[in-house]
Amino acid sequence: MLRGSFDNTGKLFRLVLRREKIISIIWIVILVVFSASVAPAILAMFPDLDARNNFAESFNNPIMVAMMGPIYGLSNYTAGAMYSGMMLLWVIIAACVMNIFFVVRHTRADEEHGRTELIRSLPAGRLANVNATMLAALVLNVALGLFMGLCLAVLNVESIGFSGSMIFGAAVCTSGLVFASIAALFSQLSSNSSGASGMSLIMLGVLYMLRAAGDIRGIELVSCISPLGLAQRSQAYVENNVWPSLLLLLEAVVISAIAYKLNSIRDLGQGFIAAKPGHANAPASLLSPFGLAWRLLRGRLITWAVVMFVLGASYGSVVANISSFIGDSPEYMTVIGVPMEMLDQLSSADKEKLIVDSFGQFVTIIMTLVCIVPMLNAAMKARSEEREGRTEHILARAVPRVKYLMGYVALAYIAGVVIQFATAAGLYSATAALTGTANPFNFGEMLKTYFALLPAAWVLIGLAVLLVGLLPKAVGIAWGYFGAVFFVSFIGAMALPDWALNISPLHHIPMPEPFEHFTLSFPPLIILTVIAAVLTAMGVYFYSKRDTA
């Protein structure tokens, strides 16, 4: 039955690698550099055992365990154990997202766009495409895990040795392979690439929550059902267990085999979950470029708004007990930007208010960075439509190019406002539910803070639009800049000089001083808004003058 099913896999494998050489290298470099740069910073922030133990005690509570996983190595909490506990889960999640997009792009998306049919018309086996994709995913993940392990090892950071670094890299590699196989499976079930990506990402979220439930209740079996929880049982830099990576590899093989079987028995272009039939007549909303943009992006943007509301609520659930979690830990004070010398001079009530306000400010910055992702997706959707050949059918009619692009651009800007509102509402409502009348946040002030950060996000949107109009083949630069902004904003205050902090437009928006209401400083907001508007206008102008490509 399998005779000839894998014919010309090697040629397709080389084709996949050739198509992915830029994107994959960028992913690997960003993940490796981000992972490697955090390790020395952790040792600098927590140079002695007492400092690390204080930090571990402040994080060893149900909420933090749910978010980051269990804390291992408390009997001798080395910098390596601390690094693994703080970083492994998030690096794995990033690697899983990379694999989901990679596999869907080369399986279901290629099938949806007719490329697989063209390949099948040649002497290529029925399973050659999915097999080549999975082999390329294997190479990609091995390269990621190997380079990450080697880079961590050569840093020569205390307690971050070679064996622990390779275990860390192996956990990232095998977890990525599991989600590559999950994406391959959903690519057989769904009839379109959006559905395959969406179901894979939902599965990632479900498995994250399953791991959190198991870790909170201390039920190892429940935690280990999730690949994320199983990977954390590697205990890199503590026990250095190999068996979780071996089990993850076995999981990837089993799920891949199921995906191969489903691929072999379904019709090309079809999915086991049939797509819903469309309306006989298009609604009036589709008669405008903005309506078309909304139709294409509404599911994704609504999902993002709901996710950010829930994420904001999860942070809000911490606020009621944040002071007791932190205690007098100077390390956590450093993370959220509170100077200990100020804390020592305050009463207990003022100390609690300072901790809560600083935590809220820290969360606001991080959540705003996450909100930029759907905004960038919306701004660059016109480019993806153009690349897939659908734009030509629209511009061939009486649709102005400027109006067409502005449909996506306007939606990107509006999405930023709506998603920021949903995030603030989630944070405020969860805090209010747990604190009642003692809610330390004022919703109006909170909205003012969240909306004040939007001009910085608009600068990234303006850059994306400029690239769409001027350098459409280089739109990835926008994601690279976003990665730099995220890194600078997340860890810059702890480890980077001022000139590096200035890379991020968020750094130029003044945040409120302790015990003061947030007073808008209009000059930086106006300057950032003007920069965003100029970049957007330039992008729209260049788009109106160039040919589709």
CB 408 within 8 A of CB 382: yes
> What is the per-residue pLDDT across 82-112, written as a single tens digit (0 to 9) for each?
888 888 998 999 899 899 999 999 998 888 8
Quick one: average pLDDT of 393-408?
Answer: 87
CB 212 within 8 A of CB 63: no
CB 449 within 8 A of CB 512: yes
Band (pLDDT 50/70/90 cuts) for residue 212 is confident
> What is the per-residue pLDDT across 164-188, written as a single tens digit (0 to 9) for each?
999 999 999 999 999 999 999 999 9
- Is the alpha carbon torsion for 537, 295, 286, 390 positive or negative? positive
Distances, alpha carbon 256 to alpha carbons 55, 68, 88, 499, in Å? 41, 28, 24, 47
Mean pLDDT for all residues in the chain: 83
Amino acid found at 313? A
Among the listed ranges 236-250, 279-293, 324-338, 470-484, which one has the minimum average pLDDT value?
324-338
> Which span out of 24-28, 411-415, 504-508 was modeled with the highest average pLDDT?
411-415
> Which span out of 341-355, 365-379, 408-422 was modeled with the highest average pLDDT?
408-422
Band (pLDDT 50/70/90 cuts) for residue 160 is confident
Band (pLDDT 50/70/90 cuts) for residue 348 is low
> What is the per-residue pLDDT across 232-284, written as a single tens digit (0 to 9) for each?
999 999 999 999 999 999 999 999 999 999 988 888 777 777 777 767 777 77
Using the structure block, give the residue that is written with the tokens 């009463």. Answer: 347
Please say if the pLDDT value at position 337 is more than 80.
no
Higher-confidence position of 304 and 254 = 254
Band (pLDDT 50/70/90 cuts) for residue 480 is confident
Per-residue burial over 189-217, b = 16 or more CB atoms within 10 Å of its CB, e = otherwise: bbbbbbbbbbbbbebbeebbebbbebbbe
Chain centre distance of CA 292: 26
- 109 exposed, middle or buried (CB, 10 Å; 0-12, 13-18, 19+)? buried
Q: Quote the pLDDT of residue 75.
A: 83
Q: Quote the pLDDT of residue 340.
A: 58
> Which span out of 121-125, 293-297, 337-341 was modeled with the highest average pLDDT?
293-297
Q: Which two tokens stand for residue 413?
A: 């800007």
> What is the per-residue pLDDT across 496-517, written as a single tens digit (0 to 9) for each?
566 667 788 887 787 665 445 5
Using the structure block, give the residue that is written with the tokens 């808004």. Answer: 529
CB 195 within 8 A of CB 271: yes
Per-residue burial over 331-368, b = 16 or more CB atoms within 10 Å of its CB, e = otherwise: bbbbbbebeeeebeeeeeeebbbbbbbbbbbbbbbebb
- 376 exposed, middle or buried (CB, 10 Å; 0-12, 13-18, 19+)? buried
CB 469 within 8 A of CB 309: no
Cα(63)–Cα(215) distance, integer angstroms? 10
Distances, alpha carbon 462 to alpha carbons 12, 330, 361, 459, in Å? 37, 39, 25, 5
Which residues touch 11 (CB under 8 Å, ≥6 apart)?
124
Band (pLDDT 50/70/90 cuts) for residue 216 is confident
Please say if the pLDDT value at position 134 is more than 80.
yes
Give the residue from 410, 504, 420, 418 showing the smallest Cα distance to 461.
410
Q: Quote the pLDDT of residue 39.
A: 82
What does the DSSP assignment read for 476-506?
HHHHHHHHHHHHHHHHHHHH--HHHHTTSGG
Q: Quote the pLDDT of residue 515.
A: 42
Cα(503)–Cα(497) distance, integer angstroms? 11
Size (the chain), residues = 549
Quick one: average pLDDT of 323-338?
Answer: 55
Quick one: average pLDDT of 325-333?
Answer: 54
Give the residue from 332, 333, 353, 350 showing the smallest Cα distance to 341.
333
Please say if the pLDDT value at position 17 is more than 80.
yes
Q: Quote the pLDDT of residue 2.
A: 63
What does the DSSP assignment read for 225-261?
HSHHHHHHTT-TTTT--SHHHHHHHHHHHHHHHHHHH
Give the residue from 10, 252, 8, 15 showing the smallest Cα distance to 110.
15
Cα(148)–Cα(88) distance, integer angstroms? 11
Band (pLDDT 50/70/90 cuts) for residue 120 is confident
Q: Quote the pLDDT of residue 498.
A: 67
Quick one: average pLDDT of 196-221?
Answer: 86
CB 326 within 8 A of CB 333: yes
Cα(37)–Cα(152) distance, integer angstroms? 9
